[in-house]
Structure 1
Amino acid sequence: MSSQGNGLPEDKSWPELELPELLTSNGTVRALHAAIETDWDSLRRSGCQTAAGRASWKHIIHDPVAGLLAGETYLRSIFEKIKKDRLNNAREISGVILAVRTLWIDSKLEAALDSFDGAGAQVVLLGAGMDARAYRLSCLRESSVFEVDFPEVLQAKTAILEAAVGGIDEQKQPILKAKSLSRVAADLTEDDWLQKLQISGFEPKKRTVWILEGILYYLSHCQAIKLLTIIAEKCQLTHTVLLADFMNKQATKLSSSTFHFHCDWPDELLPSLGFSDVTLSQIGDPDANFGLMEDPLNLFNKLRSLPRSIQTHPDDGTPCGRLYLLQASGSPNQTDS
């Protein structure tokens, strides 16, 4: 379905809120989501919010289990925000930045796997949350996928997906698209996550795509740099690709209690850590648009027209909060170049 510049379908309609049947009929699933809302902190709950965003943009992102993983509360919340934006003729519809980020990572992931000439690769999602790429991307058919996150997050995710298997509607049951999927219970702020990843079957010398989506800014500066350095070191062993998003300093001020790590120049940071090929995109760039950012007065297009060094918008004095999308790579024969 084609879209207008603000992400709305051309007929200006929006898919109605459809709660997955299991969210209302399955006691186990309802109990799991109730526990998520009461027991999890904002970092853990962010996975459900991301899933809700993907479910609400289903005319753009085809994720069969996003709604189930999101839960009723987060689904209703994002749909109410979208309804309000549409009534106000907003230039940016809620969730559009998440939709663009999802599509950007999907497209770069597929291109990276294609560049490996059909050779099976590993794909590691750090802070995977409720991500369902292993169930929706056919480009993963030759890839071993590893999802790394807190034990309670992966346990809840596994239980929710298991409840969907054998459900009433066979067409909506999750089907694994990846060659294999391993869930690795680990805390990325601890020193043993890489060891746990290798125990789960990860091969350090095998070509790998690392995905850090919506995770870096929840970490401290020290934790984020350490994580990125560990990944960069893999460039000395094998062809390594990193796909990640970074907030600049002004963006983290949106919630100083939640967001910590920021980087105004990630395209300079990553080469200093050991990546030999780094490209940066901003929301709205030609490769980070997907027909959702055509309005020139869209907030993100207005930011793109300003030098990245400017911290406040000259027109209204608002903070220039930016989200950068980074693709970085390296391999043993490039690290000295």
Structure 2
Amino acid sequence: MSHEVTNNDLHDDDTEWQELKLPNLLLQSEAVRQVHATIEREWNFLQRSACQTAAGRALWKHVIHDPLAYLLAGESYLRSLHEKMKKDRLNNAREISGVILAVRTLWFDSRLEDALNSPNGRESQVVLLGAGMDTRAYRLNCLQDSDVFEVDFPGVLQVKATILEAAKESTNEFEHVRSMAKSLTRVAADIRENDWLEKLRTAGFLPHKNTIWVLEGLLYYLTHSQAMQVLRILANKCCVTHTVLLADFMNKPSTTLSNSAFQFYSDWPDQLLPSIGFTHVKLSQIGDPDAHFGLLNDPLNLFNKLRKLPRSIETHPDDGTPCCRLYLVEASGSPKQDVAPNVPTSVP
């Protein structure tokens, strides 16, 4: 999968910032407007983060094709991010708002496709924990042979279903909305509780079938005990069937970005995951060769500056700011493989 973009692609509208064009369905559908009014009125920070993520995917449309993201984000989140991006462009910022989310999305897309195309990955089940407003089942052809399960709070899944149903019934550009996956099942469950896996099985998940678990933008909202419980459950699956984990981890300084929202962190997820049962772990940082997608070419951007420092350094020596890192991690294991010993390694 190639997501590399050229400078012309990135700056085709720099000479005159294009105004935000909202789809008619978002403005005219009473059902959709009522749903977003409910979100503004009743959802907490964690639930709203799903709309913020959708807004990022919608407005980084030059690299992410996700037309449904506009509807799922809602007007207020689209306008808020659009203003931030406009300001960044006008100020010639080295990092445009939303670029982390764009890179993260593209990394998960590419790793998911690669995992499905591997010898052990064909026809694997795909489980999106904390799926939120994710539309991969609607936009990725690589899922055509996979049963996909979306797990999230009941209210989030109901809102998402209402918006997508309105899109299907419309007579505009959304009328052909359909899942590309072999099957798509939504499972209402709270992964912070102990019954989410049983609810997943009841919905049709097969414990002994090869599985790819997608945990995007999820772990750091959990407490340490909750996150480790989820990770251990997935690691234990390596003893049963070929299991792939795709997840992003914050380091400790990153949790200071939101003292009330971010809790779990791991400075060394590439050592943590082998210690609980995964046998192969690959870690990338934003800006690495497999995690920039042509979006971070400025050598002085924040992410390139961080990558030049050892991961053990928590405060940048140049300006004293916290070294906030986001790790993109692919891990796997299989009953045919021996568990790697938990031996600390020297990582730059």
TM-score (norm 2): 0.93
2:346 aligned residue: none
Q: Report whether the alignment pairs 1:248 with 2:255.
A: no
Structure 1 contact 3–10 (Cα < 8 Å) conserved? no
Structure 1 contact 143–179 (Cα < 8 Å) conserved? yes
2:326 aligned residue: 323
1:123 aligned residue: 126
Q: Which of residues 273, 285, 289 is equivalent to 1:286?
A: 289
What is the CA–CA distance in structure 1 between the aligned matches of 2:281 and 2:71, rounded to whole Å?
36
Structure 1 contact 15–59 (Cα < 8 Å) conserved? no
Gap change, CA 1:175 and 1:9, over 3 Å in 2: farther
Q: Which of residues 271, 275, 278 is equivalent to 2:274?
A: 271
What is the CA–CA distance in structure 2 between the aligned matches of 1:256 and 1:119, rounded to whole Å?
41
Structure 1 contact 214–245 (Cα < 8 Å) conserved? yes
User: Percentage identity across aligned positions?
Assistant: 66
Gap change, CA 1:210 and 1:293, over 3 Å in 2: same
Show the 5 A alignment for 1:309-320: 309-320=312-323
Q: Report whether the alignment pairs 1:63 with 2:58.
A: no
Q: Which amino acid aligns with 1:190?
A: E
Gap change, CA 1:326 and 1:117, over 3 Å in 2: closer
The CA deviation at 1:15 is 5.4
What is the CA–CA distance in structure 1 between the aligned matches of 2:232 and 2:318, rounded to whole Å?
38
The CA deviation at 1:301 is 0.3
In the comparison of the two structures, how many residue pairs are matched?
336
Q: Which of residues 149, 153, 156 is equivalent to 1:150?
A: 153
The CA deviation at 1:166 is 2.1
What is the CA–CA distance in structure 2 between the aligned matches of 1:172 and 1:18, rounded to whole Å?
19
Structure 1 contact 92–298 (Cα < 8 Å) conserved? yes
What is the CA–CA distance in structure 1 between the aligned matches of 2:309 and 2:337, rounded to whole Å?
33
1:227 aligned residue: 230
Structure 2 contact 10–62 (Cα < 8 Å) conserved? no
Show the 5 A alignment for 1:27-176: 27-116=30-119, 119-170=122-173, 173-176=176-179
The CA deviation at 1:3 is 3.8
Gap change, CA 1:200 and 1:335, over 3 Å in 2: farther
Show the 5 A alignment for 1:185-204: 185-204=188-207
The CA deviation at 1:168 is 1.8
Structure 1 contact 64–172 (Cα < 8 Å) conserved? no
1:12 aligned residue: 14
The CA deviation at 1:64 is 2.0
Gap change, CA 1:238 and 1:51, over 3 Å in 2: same
The CA deviation at 1:4 is 3.5
Structure 1, unaligned stretches of length 5 or more?
none
What is the CA–CA distance in structure 2 between the aligned matches of 1:116 and 1:126, rounded to whole Å?
24
Q: Which amino acid aligns with 2:193?
A: E
Structure of higher RCO (CA pairs closer than 8 Å, 6+ residues apart):
1
What is the CA–CA distance in structure 2 between the aligned matches of 1:197 and 1:88, rounded to whole Å?
47
Q: Which amino acid aligns with 2:209?
A: K
Structure 2, unaligned stretches of length 5 or more?
341-348
What is the CA–CA distance in structure 2 between the aligned matches of 1:146 and 1:118, rounded to whole Å?
16
The CA deviation at 1:227 is 0.3
Q: CA RMSD in A?
A: 1.6
What is the CA–CA distance in structure 2 between the aligned matches of 1:213 and 1:116, rounded to whole Å?
24
Gap change, CA 1:139 and 1:311, over 3 Å in 2: same
Q: Which of residues 304, 309, 332 is equivalent to 2:307?
A: 304
Structure 1 contact 274–335 (Cα < 8 Å) conserved? no
Structure 2 contact 277–339 (Cα < 8 Å) conserved? no
What is the CA–CA distance in structure 2 between the aligned matches of 1:231 and 1:46, rounded to whole Å?
24
Deviations 1:116-143 (A, max 9, x none): 3673110000000000000000000000
